[in-house]
Structure 1
Amino acid sequence: MSHHIKGQSRTQTTLFPEALDDFVTEDNAVRVIDAFVDSLDLESLGFEKVKTKATGRPCYHPATMLKLYIYGYLNRIQSSRRLEKESHRNVELMWLLERLQPDFKTIADFRKNNSKGIKSTCRTFVELCREMNMFNDVMIAIDGSKFKAVNSKPNNYTPQKAKDHIARIEKSITHYLSLLAEKDDSESADDDVILMNEKLAWMKKRLTELEEIQVAVNNHPDKQVSLTDPDSRLMKTSNMTRQVCYNVQSAVDTKHHLIVSHEVTQTTDMGKLHLVASQVQEVLKTKDITFIADKGYYSREDIKAVIDTGSDVLVPKGDTSGATKAGIFNKAKFEYDKERDEYTCPAGNILPYQRDSVEKGMHLKIYVNHIACRDCHIRSQCTRSKKEPRKMRRWVHENIIDSMHKRLQRAAHVTVTRKQTVEHPFGTIKMWMGATHYLTRRIKNVSTEMSLHVLAYNLKRMMTIKGNHELIASFKQ
């Protein structure tokens, strides 16, 4: 006789508790969601249909739908069809929605039509965290990560890809025409001729489509076109492969790993430092912040713009110069004397300041020594030009960047801190998303999706840090 734990008979009558509330424990996460949404002024946040007319068919209250979505994203259920199923069988959702069961189209439309409200809710939660003193003496790590869009690589075209596809189709058309020409002597329309004519007709139609795509690609500002999600872009990912995706900017505090600000973008990290920093300053209501980022954000104008606001910035500089690869001295080999305002080259010669120049909108100072460079015995290691001397270009505000580099050298832990801080939320959210990442198309809808993921992540972090009871009490204050 087997000795196992035995279940009850499926035909046995069961007496359930009289109240649905008895199924949900006092520390259940759904009570946190319920208390948070009930504390919000949904109309001021931008949600639609908070107030409705007395006539016509009634609709679901935005609070009900928002609770459903927060629960879904908190429990890795992002699909509107899956949320509909869960509302029929999930006891927690029955409690949270008071047994309401919206259909998948209503659920999907709420996310599509309430982009502003959902984004405002995400920001409101960060502001609540600020009021709970979660961001004292804050250091913010900024980074970007690529999230896959609803667009496969075959459905993304660049000028070269469109050209290659057209050349391949034209070659195939020529091949089939030559085969048909060989069969012209035979008047019998055998099966091979019929099949080849069908293939030829398809290829001519495909060639027309590709030519239209080529025109669209060449006319596009970014020189690429995505057919499924037009706003997505082909980008390099961390493992050096290419994916059609969006680049999500994220600002995370180093103490509690809460996402303070995020932004879905279509370009690389370059030029985003000031944008993200200004958003963080606005949310936290302070400029006494230290921002840390990787070399992908290194832009001298951006760094100066953030420092000018009163915040500090620590960004390492990457070597983008092609001097070493070209076999000549890198700029790092030239020593700058701040007091004398001059450079010393590797040969020991002085390069004094000569003139000003404006290049790509930047005001630069030019340092050059024509005579010393002409007579230098290691000139071949310094420049490939036989006529022009080696020039040093220095930004007029370069002293700000030099000071930042000195602070960065004294803070050796910053690189490790940044990685440990900003990679954690990205990894967690991508795990929640699964292999497909986004479910919606166009940057507006994708941004709404990302706001729900960030809100769910921050809510989970605060439940871990503060505990559910304390968090619910803070919402009711």
Structure 2
Amino acid sequence: MKYDHISFVNYNMNQLVLPLDLEILIPQNHLSIIVHEAVEKLDDTLLVQPYKGGGRPSYHPKMLLKVIIYAYTQKVYSGRQMEKLLTENIYFMWLSGSQTPDFRTINRFRSERMKDIIYQVFFSIVELLREKGLVKLEHYFVDGTKIEANANQYTFVWRKATEKYEKSLDDKYRQLALQIEHILENEEKTAPSMGLEEKLKETPITSEQIEQSIKKLEKHLETEPKNKEAKKAVRLLKKDYLPRKMKYEEQNQLFNGKNSFSKTDNDATFMRMKEDHMRNGQLKPGYNVQTGTEGQFITGFSLHQRAGDPGCLIPHLQHLEEHGVKPEKIVADSGYGSEENYDFLEREGLTAYIKYNTFDQEQKRNWKKKIERVENMEYDEELDEFICANKQSLVFQYETSKTSENEYVSIKRKYSCFECAGCPFQKTCAKGKEQKTITISLENQRQRKEIRERLQSEEGRKLYSQRKCDVESVFGQIKHNQQFRRFSMRGLQKNKIEWGLLCVAHNCKKMQKAIKRNKVKEEIGCQ
């Protein structure tokens, strides 16, 4: 059968095809071009800084950075996968100039070369966004999310457990130390030491002390080799007490203010994650990532080892200021609404649009009916008294102070009413108790009043409503669309690099969309 009537496009694998320049095949305003232009505008000295020079020539840092950032935009976080794409994908091949660094080179650059410059690279991109008019760095929408660490979730060490076991070990050592002293004193026929037991109780036990006890016993055994008690004590100290004490001391250093850590990633802290598929509130090793946005561009980030958001805001904003970013208005949810945070923002001259924990309840109609709430009582500033619903006075009793982890001192004052007996509101107001007592911070009450007025203003309502669609949608983009829910590297420093690269990749994607949107507007305007 003949097929003369059928025609095909010429197909010849040996035919030389032009163009040879890959850039011609890349569409205008493609994401790879955005990444290329953004990295090219970085200062060369910044990227060259980590290199010492000498030896075999290294791959250019700008080339490696472009490849990694573009890989992150494509949901590729593995060095091996990047190596594969450098020989298969024309966008990767164009960015690398057809060079093919292996996965070890890529991973080494990412984890070691970027270690000290990740924040400078990120904030250089933020400055580029500001120059293009995409951000103004005036409004700062901040929120935190927890990202799971690259660690085994069952290799946890808890500080309370370590403290408990270490205390038990110290007590056992103190008892053994008395026996050791008794052995040495009897053999040397000297008078027993006075007050040794009290001295041991007062002195914290260290591994050096245990080692000294071993040396004393070993020296004693040189002259009395048949002393069974001394031999038993040496064996117990060497095989049990000393290794355990050294382990507990090492664990205490790794805690470094944390309540827990993972054996496979010592910097990770066990936290409750939103992605709880087992629905049992299981704790997983992770990091609290604080991220600030403006117009859904990421303008700041920091990683923390504490689970709660309130204590992360001040270090986060201080970190921003160190890199030359100081926004005027801070917008955050009620998780950040603490007296300490309000005080810090006020001292720094920043305007806070941050709810406190009862703000939403105060907007409801039945809030005014809650006569037991201090917000619904009158305050006599002259007499320093609160007036309850029955027109009785709650008089000042005493004040207490509490110091936070960031060394902020909060003063709480206690007020009591002594006329509650027979009061018609006793069951509701005093909850059936003999007297009504309240413990409050007057400073925090003043702060709440200012925040309430600010959030209820037209600008406050507009900014706070924008928060949800600004910062929270960024987390949705990263976790759901980018499928980034777990770090691929281990250690706080390396995970800072990874999150920083992810933020740069996110900003490049948003920049591309903004350029396309502006181009469409220009075309519509021309028509």
Shared fold per TM-score greater than 0.5: yes
1:96 maps onto 2:95 in alignment: yes
Could you say which residue in structure 2 is the equivalent of 1:228? 264
Q: CA deviation at 1:228?
A: 1.8
Which residue of 314, 332, 345 corresponds with 1:274? Answer: 314
1:368 maps onto 2:411 in alignment: no
Please tell me whether the aligned partners of residues 294 and 315 of structure 1 are also in contact (alpha carbons under 8 angstroms): yes
1:25 maps onto 2:27 in alignment: yes
* Cα distance, 1:213–1:424 mapped onto 2, change above 3 Å: farther
Q: Match for 1:63: what amino acid?
A: K
Name the TM-score, length of structure 1 as normaliser.
Answer: 0.74
Secondary structure at the counterpart of residue 104 of structure 2: helix
1:401 maps onto 2:448 in alignment: yes
Unaligned 5+ runs, structure 2 = 164-242, 360-369, 404-408, 520-527
Taking the TM superposition and a 5 Å limit, the aligned residue runs for 1:443-458 are: 443-458=492-507
Q: Match for 2:88: what amino acid?
A: R
Could you say which residue in structure 1 is the equivalent of 2:82? 83
Q: CA deviation at 1:210?
A: 12
* Cα distance, 1:458–1:435 mapped onto 2, change above 3 Å: closer
Taking the TM superposition and a 5 Å limit, the aligned residue runs for 1:131-170 are: 131-136=131-136, 138-158=138-158
Secondary structure at the counterpart of residue 487 of structure 2: coil
Q: Match for 1:258: what amino acid?
A: F
CA distance in structure 1 between the aligned counterparts of 2:465 and 2:266, rounded to whole angstroms? 37
Could you say which residue in structure 1 is the equivalent of 2:235? none
Please tell me whether the aligned partners of residues 382 and 390 of structure 1 are also in contact (alpha carbons under 8 angstroms): no
Q: CA deviation at 1:306?
A: 0.7
Worse-matched range after superposition: 311-320 or 417-426: 311-320
Please tell me whether the aligned partners of residues 137 and 325 of structure 2 are also in contact (alpha carbons under 8 angstroms): no
Which residue of 474, 490, 494 corresponds with 1:425? Answer: 474
Which residue of 284, 300, 309 corresponds with 1:243? Answer: 284
Q: CA deviation at 1:418?
A: 1.5
* Cα distance, 1:332–1:232 mapped onto 2, change above 3 Å: same
Taking the TM superposition and a 5 Å limit, the aligned residue runs for 1:88-127 are: 88-113=87-112, 114-127=114-127
Please tell me whether the aligned partners of residues 271 and 299 of structure 1 are also in contact (alpha carbons under 8 angstroms): no
Secondary structure at the counterpart of residue 330 of structure 2: strand
Q: Match for 1:345: what amino acid?
A: C
CA deviations over 1:92-121 (Å, ceiling 9, x no partner): 122111110001101100011122223211
CA distance in structure 1 between the aligned counterparts of 2:66 and 2:517, rounded to whole angstroms? 16
CA distance in structure 1 between the aligned counterparts of 2:8 and 2:440, rounded to whole angstroms? 81
Taking the TM superposition and a 5 Å limit, the aligned residue runs for 1:247-326 are: 247-253=288-294, 256-267=295-306, 268-280=308-320, 285-287=325-327, 289-318=328-357
* Cα distance, 1:435–1:214 mapped onto 2, change above 3 Å: farther
Could you say which residue in structure 2 is the equivalent of 1:175? none
Please tell me whether the aligned partners of residues 139 and 292 of structure 1 are also in contact (alpha carbons under 8 angstroms): yes
* Cα distance, 1:372–1:436 mapped onto 2, change above 3 Å: closer
Please tell me whether the aligned partners of residues 372 and 430 of structure 2 are also in contact (alpha carbons under 8 angstroms): no
Q: CA deviation at 1:379?
A: 4.0
Secondary structure at the counterpart of residue 262 of structure 1: strand
CA distance in structure 2 between the aligned counterparts of 1:126 and 1:102, rounded to whole angstroms? 28
CA distance in structure 2 between the aligned counterparts of 1:330 and 1:125, rounded to whole angstroms? 52
Q: Match for 1:331: what amino acid?
A: R
CA distance in structure 1 between the aligned counterparts of 2:160 and 2:493, rounded to whole angstroms? 29
CA distance in structure 2 between the aligned counterparts of 1:389 and 1:102, rounded to whole angstroms? 72
Please tell me whether the aligned partners of residues 343 and 350 of structure 1 are also in contact (alpha carbons under 8 angstroms): yes
Worse-matched range after superposition: 277-286 or 394-403: 277-286
Name the TM-score, length of structure 2 as normaliser.
Answer: 0.68
CA distance in structure 1 between the aligned counterparts of 2:491 and 2:376, rounded to whole angstroms? 48
Could you say which residue in structure 2 is the equivalent of 1:349? 392
CA distance in structure 1 between the aligned counterparts of 2:138 and 2:9, rounded to whole angstroms? 53
CA deviations over 1:64-104 (Å, ceiling 9, x no partner): 11111111112111110001001111111221111100011
Q: CA deviation at 1:22?
A: 2.3
Secondary structure at the counterpart of residue 271 of structure 1: helix
Please tell me whether the aligned partners of residues 342 and 352 of structure 2 are also in contact (alpha carbons under 8 angstroms): yes
Taking the TM superposition and a 5 Å limit, the aligned residue runs for 1:385-400 are: 390-396=437-443, 398-400=445-447
Worse-matched range after superposition: 112-121 or 100-109: 112-121
- Residue-pair matches, total: 409
Q: Match for 2:509: what amino acid?
A: K
Please tell me whether the aligned partners of residues 251 and 260 of structure 1 are also in contact (alpha carbons under 8 angstroms): yes
Worse-matched range after superposition: 422-431 or 209-218: 209-218
Q: CA deviation at 1:376?
A: 4.3
CA distance in structure 2 between the aligned counterparts of 1:281 and 1:118, rounded to whole angstroms? 16
Unaligned 5+ runs, structure 1 = 164-208, 321-327, 471-477
Please tell me whether the aligned partners of residues 416 and 437 of structure 2 are also in contact (alpha carbons under 8 angstroms): yes
CA distance in structure 1 between the aligned counterparts of 2:10 and 2:244, rounded to whole angstroms? 64
Please tell me whether the aligned partners of residues 331 and 463 of structure 2 are also in contact (alpha carbons under 8 angstroms): yes
Please tell me whether the aligned partners of residues 126 and 283 of structure 1 are also in contact (alpha carbons under 8 angstroms): no
CA distance in structure 2 between the aligned counterparts of 1:9 and 1:160, rounded to whole angstroms? 72
Worse-matched range after superposition: 403-412 or 219-228: 219-228
Q: Match for 1:90: what amino acid?
A: N
Q: CA deviation at 1:404?
A: 0.9
Please tell me whether the aligned partners of residues 251 and 280 of structure 1 are also in contact (alpha carbons under 8 angstroms): no
* Cα distance, 1:346–1:243 mapped onto 2, change above 3 Å: farther
Q: CA deviation at 1:257?
A: 1.2
CA distance in structure 2 between the aligned counterparts of 1:274 and 1:339, rounded to whole angstroms? 31
* Cα distance, 1:21–1:407 mapped onto 2, change above 3 Å: closer
Please tell me whether the aligned partners of residues 125 and 455 of structure 1 are also in contact (alpha carbons under 8 angstroms): yes
Please tell me whether the aligned partners of residues 261 and 285 of structure 2 are also in contact (alpha carbons under 8 angstroms): no
Q: CA deviation at 1:237?
A: 2.5
Q: CA deviation at 1:463?
A: 1.7
* Cα distance, 1:348–1:446 mapped onto 2, change above 3 Å: same
Secondary structure at the counterpart of residue 272 of structure 1: helix
Q: CA deviation at 1:297?
A: 1.0
Worse-matched range after superposition: 446-455 or 382-391: 382-391
Q: CA deviation at 1:263?
A: 0.6
CA distance in structure 2 between the aligned counterparts of 1:353 and 1:120, rounded to whole angstroms? 52
1:459 maps onto 2:459 in alignment: no
* Cα distance, 1:459–1:435 mapped onto 2, change above 3 Å: closer
Could you say which residue in structure 2 is the equivalent of 1:178? none
* Cα distance, 1:14–1:392 mapped onto 2, change above 3 Å: same
CA distance in structure 2 between the aligned counterparts of 1:468 and 1:105, rounded to whole angstroms? 39
